Amino acid sequence: MRMNDLPRIVRNLALALTMVFVARPMLAQEKKDPTPAAGKADGKNGVAEKAEKNGDPAKNDKKEEAAKPKLLPPVASEIYGGPAGAPLTLNELIDLGMQRQPALAAARASLGAAASGQRAVNNLGLFGLFARDLPIRKEQSCYGVTIARAGLEQAEWETRYAVTRNFYSVQYARAQAGLLQDILKKLSGARKKVVAKLENADADTKVTKTDLQLLDLNTNYLKTKTADAENGERRAVAALREAIGVNPDFPLAVAFDRLPAPQPGLNKEELISQALAHRPEIQQAFAANRVTELEIIAQYQQIFKLQTKTFAAASDIHAKPIPQGVSNTDYRPGAIGIEMPVFLVGKRCDRTDRATQLNERSVAVVEKTNNLIALEVEALFLKYLDGIERTKNLDPVVKEADDLFKKIDERLQNGETGSAEYMNVLGFAERVRAEYNEALYMHALGLAGLERATAGSFRMTR
């Protein structure tokens, strides 16, 4: 099972549950253009306006430029007040994402629409006197606002996680690129030592021209990997821009930082309990279950009707796709969502019975949501645990490899060994350090995922 798939499953399940259970107002306030009136008030005719425009084109261009809506600030300094292009820390990037991410703007708009719809139902007044199910619809609209508010909270945690994950991806790419530069630097130093030893060769030296050729060959090969290392960081920064919600031209400068140190001592059962208690998806599932329960009552109250509307008539519960399961080389369990038709047809007993069956489906949705969240937390915990174990086992190996390299480097300088042994030890030492960086990176992703999976009940140390 691929652990990165699990957050998407629960997230898509939550999107399927996000609904607006109330009718949206049909009236829109008309906005009048004040430009004609302003022109008359100034007493300017068309000829005067044209003369003014032609008389100072630069000034007119400035006015047109100022009139254009400014959707995105060009530099980060407009938010933080610092110098243009100043590197931003993780917390500053998260704050920027909270302001700029379109998914958050969409969630806030959905919450506003749900609140407006609730007010519309509450303000029906005399028009609702003959609607026996109006009190039920009012209560359902309250749960609609609850679901939308939970959706906003979920979007906030998704944004925080995406920014954190990609921030550490940038740091990981930089760390790996730094290893490459470190190898090239050491090879350059080794070449100087070999050249010096060849110029002052003695009978006991083991350094030959072949060693010099081997060092040059490895150096030229590793230089071809420099572009790959640089592109890795560029890809990570591009993903970070998307997570924040800025365009590709935004001058995003990311501050240098270390990957988080191992943070042992987490308890899986406690993390699962915190997730089930605080995840907004759980709130959405329970609220949707309650809405379907109320639909049973609403159908029972409508006696002399053979066709009645449900809460789905004023919602979009069928607009969100339900993620399907995958069972090939990877295992990804599928999600389920609630069901409710726009109309229920038949006698009261038949309509009530169908609403009851659909309510039982919503109970299964709650149970499925709990299971998916528990599985997600467990998968993230295993990723975190893998990072902890790997860093613990690799830490002494990194130190021993560094000590061994120092000895080989000294032997090369003294002419006691050739470049082949030098390259073997150098390659092993850098490979171990690369694996250690990868273990720290996986550990960081596990911590960031657990922070999101528990809705902030657990906070990673930054």
Give residue 76's pLDDT: 42
346: its two tokens: 């038949």
Cβ-contact 448, 384 below 8 angstroms: no
Torsion (CA) 240, 437, 4, 156 in degrees, nearest 10: -40
Compute the distance between CA of residue 93 and CA of residue 164 in angstroms, rounded to an integer.
8
* pLDDT of 236: 96
- Backbone torsions φ then ψ of 108, nearest 5 degrees: -65, -40
Provide the b/e sequence for 324-333 (b: ≥16 CB within 10 Å).
eeeeeeeebb
The predicted pLDDT at position 325 comes to 63
Compute the C-alpha angle 229/92/230, nearest 5°.
10
How do the pLDDT tens digits run along the chain, 462 residues long?
444 454 454 444 444 444 333 333 333 333 334 444 334 334 444 434 433 444 444 444 444 444 444 443 344 444 443 444 689 999 999 999 999 999 999 999 999 999 999 999 888 887 777 788 889 999 999 999 999 999 999 999 999 999 999 999 999 999 999 999 999 999 999 999 999 888 887 767 888 889 999 999 999 999 999 888 889 999 999 999 999 999 998 989 999 999 999 999 999 999 999 999 999 999 999 999 999 999 999 999 988 889 999 988 877 665 455 556 666 677 778 888 899 999 999 999 999 999 999 999 999 999 999 999 999 999 999 999 999 999 999 999 999 999 999 999 999 988 888 989 999 999 999 999 999 999 999 999 999 999 999 999 999 987
Spatial contact of 267 and 274, defined as CB atoms under 8 Å apart: no
In 57-206, which ranges are continuous DSSP H helix?
Answer: 57-67, 77-80, 90-100, 102-122, 134-199
Per-residue confidence (pLDDT) for residue 32, from 0 to 100: 39
| Structural domains of the chain sorted by starting position, each given as residue range(s) with its CATH number in brackets | 5-15+77-292+374-453 (1.20.1600.10)
DSSP code of 462? -
Contact 312, 364 (CB under 8 A): no
**Sign of dihedral through CA atoms 54, 57, 63, 65?**
positive
- 279 phi, psi to nearest 5 deg: -65, 135
Q: Whole-angstrom Cα distance, residue 300 to residue 294?
A: 10
Strands 307-309 and 343-345: antiparallel
d(CA 443, CA 436): 11
pLDDT at 462: 73
Q: 154 near 280, Cβ under 8 Å? A: yes
Give pLDDT, residue 77.
40
Q: What is the pLDDT of residue 19?
A: 36
- Report the DSSP pairing between strands 331-332 and 307-309: unpaired
Amino acid symbol at 107: A
Question: Ramachandran region of residue 346, left (φ > 0), alpha (ψ -120 to 50) or beta?
Answer: left
Instruction: Work out the angle between the directed axes of helices 134-199 and 348-413 (0-180°, nearest 10).
Output: 10
Angle at 198 (CA atoms; ends 193, 203), nearest 5 degrees: 120
Tallying the residues shown for the chain, one arrives at 462
Which tokens in the block code for residue 167?
A: 């921030």
Lookup: tokens for 20:
């607006």
Nearest-CA neighbor of 165 among 236, 108, 224, 95? 236
pTM > 0.75: yes
Q: Tokens 């399907």 belong to which residue?
A: 324
- The CA distance from 120 to 382, in Å, is 48
